[in-house]
Chain A
Amino acid sequence: MSVFNAIGEEREIDRDEFTPEIEPQATWCPGCGDFGVLKALKQAMPEVGRNPEESLLVTGIGCSGKLSSYFRSYGFHSIHGRALPVARAAKMANPDLEVIAAGGDGDGYGIGGNHFMHTARENHDMTYIVFDNEIFGLTKGQTSPTSPKGHKSKTQPHGSAKSPIRPLSLGLTSGASYIARTAAVNPNQAKEILVEAMEHDGFAHVDFLTQCPTWNKDAKQYVPYIDIQDSDDYDFDIHDRREAAEMMYEAEDALYEGEVLTGRFYVDEDRPSYQEEKQATGDMPEEPLAERYFDDDYEWERSYDLLDRHK
C-alpha cells in the first residue's frame, strides 16, 4: 500500500471538508475579496475530485497568504514572494499531489516576480492564484506593482510615477499555458476558472481580482465585470498567442478605466508540462520521488559504484 494513502482515494467529497475549525474573520476585514477566493476554491475542489489531503496549498505572506490557514488541505505558509519555488519542488518530488500556490500582487508580481517568470517559463503542472487587489494589504496600504499610475499612498505621497505591470501579458510572455482573470465578485466564473486551472496540465495562472475595502477604498469593487466569453464584443481565439496577447493588453488597460474584463485569455493544451519535459530528457524519475523512500523493495544505489573514475 502506498504511504500517500489519501492520493487518488475515490469517494464523495464535500466542500465542507475543506473548512478547518478556524475563522477567517479573525484576520480578514469585512468585505475583503479574499473571502471570495476561499469560497471559490472550496467549491472547485470537489468538482476537480481532489480531496483535502492529496492537495498542497502553498502561500506567500500577506493577507492573501492566510488562505492556507482557512483552507483545509496540506498547507505551507512560506515567506513573502517564495510560494512558487516551494510549490514547484513539492510538485516535482511528488507529482501526484494537487499543488496550488497563492499570494498577493505584491508577493507574486513584486518580490516574487522572478519566480513567477521562471515558474511560468518551466510550465510546472500547478495552479497559481494571485490575489490582485492593487495594494499591499497586510502592511497597511502601500502602493503595489498593480496599483495604477499616480496612486497615492504613505510610501508614494506624491503619487506613483510607475505604470502598473501587466500581469496577464507577463504570464503569457513568461510561458504560462493557461491564463485567466476572474473576480471575487463573480463567484460562479471564479469557481469554473479554478476548476479549469486545476484540471489544466501545465502552469495555470489566475489573476484573481480581490477588493481591499480597507486600504484601497477608491478602487472599484471590480463591478460591473464583463465576462469576455459571454460577451459578443470580444471575439478572439484563446489558443492563439497573438490574439490572446492583444486581448490581454486591452483588458489590462481597461481595468484602470473601470472596465473589468474577466474570463479565459489563453489556453495552450499542447505544451507539455515541465514534469513531462524533464522525464523525457531522463532528468526526472517516472515514479514519484517521494514514494521511493517508503518502498522497501527499492534498491538504493550508492556512490561506491562511482569510485572507478577516481582510481
Chain B
Amino acid sequence: MSEFLQLVFSGLTVGAIYALIALGFTLIYNASDVINFAQGDFVMIGGMGTVFLMASGLSLPLAALIAVVAAVGVGLLLHRLAIEPARGASPVTLIMITIGASIFIKGVAQIVFDKQFHSLPAFSGDAPIPIGGATLLPQSLWVLGTAIGLVVALYLFLEHTLVGKGLLATAANRLAAKLVGINVTLILAMAFGLSAAIGALAGVVATPITLTRYDIGTLFALKGFAAAMLGGMGNPLGAVVGGLLIGLLETFGAGYVSSTYKDAVAFLMILFVLFFLPRGLFGGRSVERV
C-alpha cells in the first residue's frame, strides 16, 4: 500500500509538470492553431533564468519574477518575429517554425547561460513529509499547488474576464472575432505571452526536483505534447488530466513493470490516441459553434 502511495505521489508531481506544459500548448493552439514546440524552452528559461539571477545575488521570488518576465518577452518575440510574419502558412510550416525557434533558443541559452546542469534550493526545505508509509517532498506540494493555482486562475480569466472571453472568441472563430471588434493580433500575442509565463513558472517550481540545463526543454515539450494530445488538443481541462495521466502511467510502468520502457509510455500514448481517440479524451469540444 505504501508503495502504491509512493508511486501516486511521484506520478502526480511529474504529471503536474507535464500538465502545465500541456496547458501552454493548449492556450497557443486554441488561439492560433499553432502547436508551439518551443513550449518546453519556456520551462528552461524559467529555471535557468532563476538559477543565474539568484547566483548574481537576487532573492528567489525576485529572481523568479524576472525570469518569468523574460520568458514572456521571449514568447512575445517568438510571436512577433516568427509566427506573425508567417500568418496564413500551413500548420506544418508553423510547426517547423516553432521547432526552429526552439533550436535557436537552446543555442542562445548555451551562450547566455552555460552547458552545465543547475539546481535551485527547495523552496521550503528538503525534509520529506511521511504520509501513510510513503514520503512526499515539500517541493512536490509547491509543484502541485502551482499547477492547481494556475489552472483555476486560467479558468477564471478565460470565463470571467472580457479579455479572456476575447481569447475564447478568437479561438472559436478568428474572422468573426475580428468582425465584432476584437484586436486579434493583440489576443494572439497575449496567448504566447501567457503560455510562456505558465511554462516559465512550471520551470521555476520544478527545477529543485528535476534540475535544469539549456536543452531540458526538448523532453518536456515532447511529454507536454503527448499530454495535450491525450487530453484532446485545445482543451485546458484535457491538458491537465492528460498530464497527470501520463505522469502516473510512467511512474506505475516504471514501478510495477520495468523502468526500461519509461520514456516509451508517452510515445505509446500518442500512438494510442492517434489510432483510437483522434480527438483525445476531451476533444469533443472543438465542434464549430455558431
Q: Do A and B come from one complex?
A: no
> B-side interface residues toward A, CB under 8 Å?
none
> A-side interface residues toward B, CB under 8 Å?
none
